[in-house]
């Protein structure tokens, strides 16, 4: 750990030192108010629970462009004259940021860290160059790689999909990229490898052989898994569900769809889910819903933390500052026993109107504090015996007698009919939703 100040030959965030925990009374915007990494919550440190990661693409590659106008931010690392020196400067800036923020993990796509070459071998070489530099920076700063992935959606060749492209030639290009990205992930000691099926879907059902495309996707994932295992990758492969955007329909629609797909194709042993908040809401669910579905299946692998905007519904990738949402997410995560070896990656971007380098810090500090608060409150909610009773007590009729026999598969449909006929009309039992909601609010209001 050398880097209280900066990495490489330039300081990209001058005037900003290491972000410290100063507690709830602090009014320093560049300090943590709640994220106290060593504080023990529910038997583990906050760091062990939360495993925060910064994502490379939104924070260091995006400059605020949208479909209606170009970028608004002039970051110092973007003004280098050629692709390689820009990529190197960007990496140095990123590691200065990780180090000053004190975040334990980061995540990348192949071509946000490196630049695409002319042809497969040239691109592999570029990625390798950057992997070597990243390896040094990881060692210097003590930052670890949460996950790597390949960008199989930006290049025009992927306009009809990557692993689900109707053209085999395109599928092979995707395979080449995934192979190199798995190599890079392994080389950097990554804990997970992510597949987000950005264009694995369709725009027109009538010109698409969906059955064949899904079979290709499963075969592709199986071969990627086999390759990863063959070179010693023992981490988790993750699928990140998203229902739409950029495609009209994406196959990895939501948690339950992906779980069914993985089980159908015998992939559930190696793959888990990376649940993104804003993707869950795009699918018409809450963030907590998709987390719960993944956790129930034993497949909650990692989290892309962000939030959408309920008023417009698309993937706005805002930093997660909604405490209520974070509490509900952490209720699932805590109950599931955590997400390790996954983590909580801020797949979020500062707004186009947020143009100071300092805004990147403020955004991450806010997100980290929000989840730290969510964690502390969730611990209290889970420890509240009323909550246990209000949720699990409702099922007590299955704990013994005929209910238990039903769960054990010992009662036929006719047996169930006979029990109903003897018992008469069941008594009405209130679900007490308002009480549940009030108790959670009381715990939120008690503070962290």
Q: Which residues are catalytic?
A: 109, 112
Smallest CA-to-CA distance from 123 within 84, 180, 73, 162 is with 180
Kindly state the smallest distance separating residue 419's Cβ from ligand XLS, in Å: 48
Output the six-digit token pair for 339. Answer: 């997400």
CA distance 170 to 172: 5
Nearest-approach distance from CB 155 to ligand XLS, in angstroms: 13
Beta bridge partners of 202: 249
Shortest reach from residue 346's CB to ligand XLS, in Å: 11
In this chain, which residue has its C-beta nearest to ligand XLS? 196
The residue (of 12 and 147) whose beta carbon lies closer to Ni ion is 147
CA 236, CA 340: separation in Å to the nearest integer?
10
Work out what residue 92 binds among Ni ion, ligand XLS, none; the CB cut-off runs from 5 to 8 Å by kind.
none
CB-based burial label for 238 (10 Å; 0-12, 13-18, 19+):
buried
* Nearest CB to Ni ion, comparing residues 96 and 200: 200
Draw the binding track, 266-295, toward Ni ion (x: CB under 5 A; -: no contact).
Answer: ----------x-------------------
**Neighbouring residues of 292: CB distance < 8 A, sequence distance ≥ 6:** 332
DSSP labels for 224-246? HHHHHHHTT--SEEEEE--S-SS
Question: Closer to ligand XLS at the Cβ: 124 or 315?
Answer: 315
Residues in the chain: 448
Pick between residue 304 and residue 369 the one whose CB is nearest to Ni ion: 304
Instruction: Give Cβ neighbours of residue 417 (< 8 Å, ≥ 6 apart).
Output: none
Point out which residues bind ligand XLS (CB under 6 A).
Answer: 109, 149, 194, 196, 240, 242, 276, 304, 315, 347
Nearer to Ni ion, 58 or 90 (CB): 58
Least distance in Å: CB of 156 to ligand XLS? 17
Q: Which of ligand XLS, Ni ion, none does 149 bind, CB closer than 5 to 8 A by kind?
A: ligand XLS
Taking the complex as a whole, the smallest distance from the CB of residue 422 to Ni ion amounts, in Å, to 53
Q: Return the percent helix, strand and coil in the chain, to nearest 5.
A: 50, 10, 40
304 contributes a contact to Ni ion by CB under 5 A: yes
Residue 12 or 158: the one with the smaller Cβ distance to Ni ion is 158
In whole angstroms, how far apart are CA 386 and each of 396, 434, 438, 444, 447? 15, 13, 11, 16, 19
User: Beta partners for 109?
Assistant: 149
Number of residues that bind Ni ion (CB under 5 A): 4
Comparison of 242 and 285: residue with beta carbon closer to ligand XLS: 242
200 binds Ni ion (CB under 5 A): no
Select from 373, 359, 367, 372 the least CA-distant residue to 97.
359
- Does the protein bind Ni ion through residue 36 (CB under 5 A)? no
* CA dist list (Å): 206 to 203, 209, 210, 254, 310: 9, 8, 10, 23, 32
- Measure the CA–CA gap between 148 and 184, rounded to whole angstroms: 8
Q: Show the CA angle centred on residue 251, arms to residues 248 and 256, nearest 5°.
A: 120
For the bound state, the minimum distance from the C-beta of residue 231 to Ni ion, rounded and expressed in Å, comes to 25
Rounded alpha-carbon distances, angstroms, from residue 180 to 106, 108, 115, 165, 340: 18, 13, 13, 19, 25
Smallest distance from Ni ion to CB 387, Å: 30
Residue 112, binding choice from Ni ion, ligand XLS, none, Cβ under 5 to 8 Å by partner class: none
Residue 195: which of ligand XLS, Ni ion, none does it interact with, CB under 5 to 8 A by kind?
none
Site residues (CB under 5 A) for Ni ion, limited to 340-369? 347
Query: What residue ranges bind Ni ion (CB under 5 A)?
Result: 276, 304, 315, 347
């Amino acid at each position: 750990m050398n880097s209280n100040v900066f990495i490489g030959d330039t300081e990209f965030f001058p005037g900003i030192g290491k972000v410290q925990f100063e507690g709830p009374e602090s009014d320093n915007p560049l300090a943590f108010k709640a994220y106290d990494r060593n504080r023990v919550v529910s038997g583990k440190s906050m760091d062990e629970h939360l495993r925060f990661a910064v994502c490379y693409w939104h924070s260091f590659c995006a400059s605020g462009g949208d479909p209606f106008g170009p970028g608004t931010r002039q970051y110092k690392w973007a003004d280098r004259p050629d692709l390689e020196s820009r990529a190197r400067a960007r990496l140095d800036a990123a590691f200065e940021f990780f180090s000053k923020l004190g975040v334990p993990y980061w995540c990348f796509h192949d071509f946000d860290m490196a630049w695409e070459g002319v042809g497969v071998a040239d691109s592999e070489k570029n990625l390798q160059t950057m992997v070597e530099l990243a390896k040094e920076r990881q060692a210097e700063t003590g930052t670890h790689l949460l996950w790597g992935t390949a960008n199989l959606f930006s290049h025009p060749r992927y306009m009809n999909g990557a692993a689900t492209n109707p053209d085999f030639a395109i599928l092979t290009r995707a395979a080449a990229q995934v192979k190199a990205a798995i190599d890079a992930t392994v080389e950097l000691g990554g804990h997970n490898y992510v597949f987000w099926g950005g264009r694995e879907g369709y725009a027109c059902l009538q010109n698409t052989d969906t059955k064949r495309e899904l079979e290709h996707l499963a075969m592709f994932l199986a071969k990627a898994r086999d390759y990863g295992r063959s070179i010693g990758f023992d981490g988790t492969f993750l699928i990140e569900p998203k229902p739409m955007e950029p495609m009209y329909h994406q196959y990895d629609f939501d948690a339950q769809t992906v779980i069914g797909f993985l089980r159908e194709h015998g992939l559930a042993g190696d793959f888990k889910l990376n649940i993104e908040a804003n993707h869950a809401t795009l699918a018409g669910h809450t963030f907590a819903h998709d987390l719960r579905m993944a956790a129930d299946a034993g497949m909650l692998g990692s989290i892309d933390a962000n939030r959408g905007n309920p008023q417009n519904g698309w993937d706005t990738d805002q930093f997660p500052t909604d405490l209520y949402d974070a509490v509900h997410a952490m209720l699932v995560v805590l109950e599931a026993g955590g997400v390790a070896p996954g983590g909580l990656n801020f797949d979020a971007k500062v707004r186009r109107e947020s143009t100071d380098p300092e805004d990147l810090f403020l955004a991450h500090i806010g997100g980290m504090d929000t989840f730290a608060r969510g964690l502390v409150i969730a611990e209290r909610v889970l420890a509240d015996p009323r909550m246990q009773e209000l949720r699990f007590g409702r099922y007590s009729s299955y704990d013994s007698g005929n209910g238990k026999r039903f769960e054990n598969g010992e009662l036929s449909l006719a047996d169930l009919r006979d029990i109903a006929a003897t018992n008469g009309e069941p008594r009405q039992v209130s679900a007490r939703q308002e009480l549940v909601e009030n108790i959670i609010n009381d715990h939120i209001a008690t503070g962290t």
